[in-house]
């Protein structure tokens, strides 16, 4: 599939698809309508998004085919999702095959739709995506602060867990930087202290670690191009963020920080039983090396007895439930994607920003979340790939960032 240029895409498909991606599993019982708990808004939202996308694609002029576009990663990812769904055929009796299959079908459709949408005009789509994630992060942060702490004194918003909440906040930081870089205006950076405060209040140690890794990697990559003004601006933003957090943080902040990050992590080295859970997943992978235990096999064999929903590690989950076949397909998709976005392709700046967001979610997925919680990795992976391979209207390569 190749393109020379595309018109600007319609805004409607992006608004709906991103809303579906951010919203997660949202049934009406979470809004108080217990009698309508069976209504899954993801299905409705995705259906509306696909209709809008169909209209958007239909209005595009026929593309001229001039060169190959690397989309092998998308083929491998689709095969990976299909294999995961098919593995429900040999899943244990206690496995929740139905809900897990729905998750994977919706996620695969969402990613394919987003790539097709982004390929229409990567410049416009990625800019819009970062603006929407920036706005979403603000809304999530304010909602969490208004609602107050939940279990264990940790903060989250709109019925989601703290480990998902921290991803939205850290994506908000990346989005603030992206909007600033793409617009040339520094005003979006004002919200970064709010995002960092909310991220810390989530109590997600792994999420904060992932954010620090991505931030350090980004600084290392652009170290040769850093100017004194940029360094001063970054230090200034961090200083303001620390000051705002110190002044505006709720009273629970100090106790949460002391208990969660100092006592549990440093003194007690408590990892929320992650090592035991990972060990159980690894044993399943060794015992079922070829095709795994099947979809949701971890819960069907281990979690159902120990009240553990999933392995809290995306790769270990795939190994335990998909075996070498699943790991091979996942590795093929990721490696082909890395080859596609390597060097930034035709839009180094946009590609790099989307890659940073994808890597952040990928690192978080090594410590928490199930398959569907990793959807934002695949979404930003699709954005990065579209930015790297889709020719611009002018046919010119985008300048490198900074």
Q: Is residue 372 part of a domain?
A: yes
Q: Is residue 77 part of a domain?
A: yes
40 vs 172, more confident:
172
* Count of domains for the chain: 1
**pLDDT for 6:** 44
Token pair of 277 as six digits: 């859970």
Q: What percent of the chain has pLDDT over 90?
A: 50
The confidence band for 58, taking pLDDT boundaries of 50, 70 and 90, is confident
Residues 204-215 have pLDDT tens digits of 888 888 889 998
The sign one gets for the Cα dihedral 30, 130, 339, 214 is negative
The packing angle between helices 314-341 and 375-389, to 10°, is 10
In Å, what is the CA distance from 272 to each residue of 203, 265, 307, 313? 12, 10, 14, 13
Residue 167 has pLDDT above 70, yes or no: yes
Token pair of 204 as six digits: 């997600």
Find how far residue 156's CA is from the centre of its chain.
16
Residue 224 has pLDDT above 60, yes or no: yes
**pLDDT for 340:** 94
Are the C-beta atoms of 71 and 337 separated by less than 8 Å?
A: no
What's the rounded mean pLDDT across residues 94-121? 93
In the numeric block, the tokens 């997943």 are attached to: 281
Are the C-beta atoms of 168 and 196 separated by less than 8 Å?
A: no
Residues 264-274 have pLDDT tens digits of 544 444 455 77
178 vs 254, more confident:
178
Q: Is residue 5 part of a domain?
A: no
Q: Is residue 217 part of a domain?
A: yes
209 vs 307, more confident:
209
In the numeric block, the tokens 């940790």 are attached to: 154
In Å, what is the CA distance from 324 to each residue of 80, 199, 292, 328? 12, 35, 8, 6
Q: Is residue 399 part of a domain?
A: no
Are the C-beta atoms of 37 and 28 separated by less than 8 Å?
A: yes
Q: Is residue 148 part of a domain?
A: yes
The confidence band for 396, taking pLDDT boundaries of 50, 70 and 90, is very low
116 vs 29, more confident:
116
Closest CA to 10 of 62, 55, 63, 61: 55
Residue 65 has pLDDT above 70, yes or no: no
Residue 200 has pLDDT above 90, yes or no: no
In Å, what is the CA distance from 237 to each residue of 36, 136, 186, 244? 45, 21, 11, 10
**pLDDT for 3:** 41
How far, in Å, CA of 341 to CA of 115, rounded? Answer: 14
Q: What is the overall mean pLDDT for the chain?
A: 83
Residue 148 has pLDDT above 90, yes or no: no
**pLDDT for 161:** 85
Range of the domain at 332: 11-389
Q: Is residue 3 part of a domain?
A: no
Q: Is residue 4 part of a domain?
A: no
The confidence band for 180, taking pLDDT boundaries of 50, 70 and 90, is very high
Of 179-183, 198-202, 336-340, where does the model show the most confidence?
Answer: 336-340
How far, in Å, CA of 209 to CA of 216, rounded? Answer: 11
Closest CA to 57 of 127, 20, 3: 3
Are the C-beta atoms of 66 and 5 separated by less than 8 Å?
A: no
């Amino acid at each position: 599939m190749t393109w020379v240029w595309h018109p600007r895409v319609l805004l409607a498909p992006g608004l709906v698809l991103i809303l579906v991606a951010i919203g997660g599993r949202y049934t009406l019982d979470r809004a108080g309508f217990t009698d309508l708990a069976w209504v899954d808004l993801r299905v409705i939202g995705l259906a509306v998004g696909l209709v809008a996308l169909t209209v958007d694609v239909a209005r595009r002029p026929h593309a001229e085919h001039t060169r190959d576009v690397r989309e092998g990663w998308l083929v491998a990812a689709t095969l990976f999702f299909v294999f995961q769904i098919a593995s429900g055929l040999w899943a244990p009796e206690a496995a929740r095959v139905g809900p897990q299959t729905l998750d994977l079908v919706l996620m695969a459709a969402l990613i394919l739709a987003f790539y097709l949408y982004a390929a229409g005009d990567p410049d416009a789509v990625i800019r819009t995506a970062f603006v929407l994630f920036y706005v979403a992060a603000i809304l999530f942060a304010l909602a969490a602060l208004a609602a107050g702490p939940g279990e264990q004194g940790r903060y989250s918003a709109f019925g989601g867990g703290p480990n998902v909440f921290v991803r939205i906040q850290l994506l908000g930081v990346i989005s603030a930087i992206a909007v600033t870089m793409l617009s040339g205006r520094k005003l979006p950076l004002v919200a970064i202290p709010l995002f960092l405060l909310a991220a810390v209040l989530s109590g997600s140690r792994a999420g904060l670690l992932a954010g620090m890794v991505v931030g350090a990697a980004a600084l290392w990559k652009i170290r040769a191009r850093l100017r004194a003004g940029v360094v001063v601006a970054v230090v200034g933003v961090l200083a303001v963020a620390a000051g705002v957090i110190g002044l505006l943080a709720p009273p629970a902040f100090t106790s949460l920080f002391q208990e969660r990050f100092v006592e549990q992590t440093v003194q007690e080295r408590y990892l929320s039983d992650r090592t035991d859970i990972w060990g159980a997943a690894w044993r399943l992978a060794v015992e079922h090396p070829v095709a795994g235990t099947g979809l949701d096999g971890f819960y069907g064999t281990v979690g159902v007895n120990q009240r553990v929903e999933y392995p809290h590690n995306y790769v270990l989950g795939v190994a335990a439930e998909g075996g070498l076949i699943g790991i091979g397909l996942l590795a093929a998709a990721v490696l082909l994607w890395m080859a596609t976005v390597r060097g930034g392709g035709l839009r180094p700046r946009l590609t790099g920003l989307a890659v940073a967001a994808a890597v952040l979610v990928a690192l978080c997925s090594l410590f928490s979340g199930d398959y569907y919680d990793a959807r934002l990795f695949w979404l930003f992976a699709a954005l990065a790939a579209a930015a790297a391979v889709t020719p611009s209207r002018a046919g010119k390569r985008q300048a490198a960032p900074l």
